[in-house]
Structure 1
Amino acid sequence: MRLCSIASGSSGNCIYVGSEEAHVLVDVGISGKSIEKGLNSLDLTGKDVDGILITHEHSDHIKGLGVISRKYGIPIYTTGGTADAMLRMKSLGKMPEGLIHEIREDEPFGIKDLTVNPFTIPHDAAQPVGYRLECGEHSVGIATDLGKYNDYIVKNLENLDAVLLEANHDIRMLQVGKYPYYLKQRILGDRGHLSNENAGRLLCRILHDNLKAVFLGHLSRENNYEELAYETVCSEVTLGDNPYRSRDFKIQVAKRDHISEIITV
């Protein structure tokens, strides 16, 4: 399996997951041109993409969906609530009939040799989900846009080979920053976004001997920066009640505006 961040940040998200037979994108919250550029960097085109998995309907996750789906006729997989919310958005344009496939939380489905497991996440959207993708004995997980984590989320992220976790903000930067009070409360709330500290604590819950790589994603442009997210998460791992240290596996920050390295597991 392969995991690669084409773009990840509060301004736009697009993640590639591949196997021997399948190529999928998790979210397409960047321009169609940027999506195609990212795919080309992977020696792929839109014609190679077997499915688009949408986590929720916010624009930084679906901005390029209308353009890319109309151009290539790529199947779209998302929950019913998210689909309904997307179809009400004029910014996407007319969506081709028959491309949207409704999925349900905790009901796995297949895309060629990939098994996709959607799981509920707490976020202020219609029916948001994270994804666990498996092929044979290998698995990767995507969990961004969650205000908190619980045992259910931990269970869905256990025993992964690679994971992309949200590390959205530094709490102090957010508190003293220029955002209005209501927006700060939204981000800090149980249906908001995961802080650097909580990303590190969640990571501590899912560490195991075979975890090879961790991407920190969905960083806020205003309330975080790469070095701070990285150092905070590493500190939580080092100080946490676990036998691991951050050097035991690869941690890297997914870039906002260019493609990451490809992780192969």
Structure 2
Amino acid sequence: MALQFSVLASGSTGNAVYVETDHHRLLIDCGLSGKKLDALFAKIDRSAKDLDAILVTHEHSDHIKGLGVFSRRHRLPIYANEKTWKAMATSIGDIPVDQKFVFQTGGLQSFGDIEVESFGVSHDAAEPMFFVFRHQQKQLTLLTDVGYVSDKIKGTIKQSDAYIIEANHDINMLMAGRYPWNVKRRILGDSGHISNEDAGTALTDVLDDRTKKIYLAHLSKDNNLKELARMSVQQKLEQHGLRIGERLGLYDTDPEVPTALSIV
């Protein structure tokens, strides 16, 4: 009865994460078309028809692009906070009342044997939130789309067995890149996205001996590279005596290729 997960897709073109136990299966965000999601599920030998629910982090299109069509097709309940429901209403079409559920920021929801805790983050959306998943003393944290990792967030996510955490950009690549200054300022701001270095620094404050896996997510296609993100985060961790190796793994995610199902 292990807690398992796969990052189906991660990046500015679409985001979706799958979490399961032997008895319950959850999708977090639905930022791709139903056809694309079905193909991603097939690559990990899973099917959307077995899902129990969809959890929504916030209303940006790379997180909800396929939500309306996908949820109606598979008759899946959707969980989001009230402000996110309001903000995404015109983007996802009509959702049957019996598929609409409110999951308040800072709340707890049980999906059978999976307990989910939501927590607020600083990002330029209506009321963005992310999640900690717990099952039989195992804990998985999902945290992307965040301008900075506050002490409150660190207190919620600390000592997880696995992390899916944003490493959005390399600061030097971003500053030298083609984006206009107002976009660069948004990304760098407290309501934007955290850099590779920010991710590494945050991790040093929350990791302990139980942590086994770190997945770097939501990398910018223009302002980052997988190798650079890994190197930057690893360097930060090693500065604090945390070694990547047999005990602690550091992994990539991809906008097109799902990660293999992994046990927390």
- TM bin, normalised by shorter chain, reads over 0.9
With structure 1 as the length reference, what TM-score do the two structures score? 0.96
Partner of 1:3: 5
The reply to whether residue 42 of structure 1 matches residue 52 of structure 2 is: no
Say whether the 8 Å CA contact 1:24–1:53 is kept in structure 2. Answer: yes
**Residues 102-117 of structure 1: pairs in structure 2 closer than 5 A:** 102-117=102-117
1:86 to 82, 85, 88: 88
**Residues 64-83 of structure 1: pairs in structure 2 closer than 5 A:** 64-83=66-85
Hey, what's the Cα distance between the residues in 2 that align with 1:94 and 1:64? 13
Hey, what's the Cα distance between the residues in 2 that align with 1:256 and 1:226? 12
1:245 to 236, 243, 246: 243
Hey, what's the Cα distance between the residues in 1 that align with 2:119 and 2:75? 26
The number of residues matched between the two structures is 261
Opposite residue 50 of structure 1, the aligned amino acid is D
Opposite residue 259 of structure 2, the aligned amino acid is S
Following superposition, the deviation at residue 103 of structure 1 comes to 1.2
* SS of 1:47 mapped into structure 2: helix
Say whether the 8 Å CA contact 1:147–1:190 is kept in structure 2. Answer: yes
Partner of 1:201: 201
Hey, what's the Cα distance between the residues in 2 that align with 1:70 and 1:119? 27
The reply to whether residue 227 of structure 1 matches residue 227 of structure 2 is: yes
Hey, what's the Cα distance between the residues in 1 that align with 2:181 and 2:34? 34
Hey, what's the Cα distance between the residues in 1 that align with 2:144 and 2:100? 22
**Residues 162-241 of structure 1: pairs in structure 2 closer than 5 A:** 162-240=162-240
In the TM superposition, what whole-angstrom CA distance separates every residue of 1:184-214 from its partner, at most 9, and x where no partner exists? 1000000000100000011111111111111
Hey, what's the Cα distance between the residues in 1 that align with 2:177 and 2:38? 35
1:22 to 19, 24, 42: 24
Partner of 2:263: 264
Aligned-residue Cα RMSD (Å) equals 1.1
Following superposition, the deviation at residue 106 of structure 1 comes to 1.9
In the TM superposition, what whole-angstrom CA distance separates every residue of 1:142-185 from its partner, at most 9, and x where no partner exists? 00000001111111111211110000000111111111111110
* SS of 1:255 mapped into structure 2: coil
Say whether the 8 Å CA contact 1:9–1:255 is kept in structure 2. Answer: yes
In the TM superposition, what whole-angstrom CA distance separates every residue of 1:84-134 from its partner, at most 9, and x where no partner exists? 001032xx2332333121111222011111111000010000010010011
What residue ranges of structure 1 are gaps of 5+ in the alignment?
Answer: none
Hey, what's the Cα distance between the residues in 1 that align with 2:259 and 2:44? 11
Opposite residue 264 of structure 1, the aligned amino acid is I
Partner of 1:144: 144
Opposite residue 102 of structure 1, the aligned amino acid is V
Hey, what's the Cα distance between the residues in 1 that align with 2:215 and 2:82? 28
* SS of 1:88 mapped into structure 2: helix
Hey, what's the Cα distance between the residues in 2 that align with 1:47 and 1:260? 20
With structure 2 as the length reference, what TM-score do the two structures score? 0.96
Which moves more between the two structures, 101-110 or 76-85? 101-110
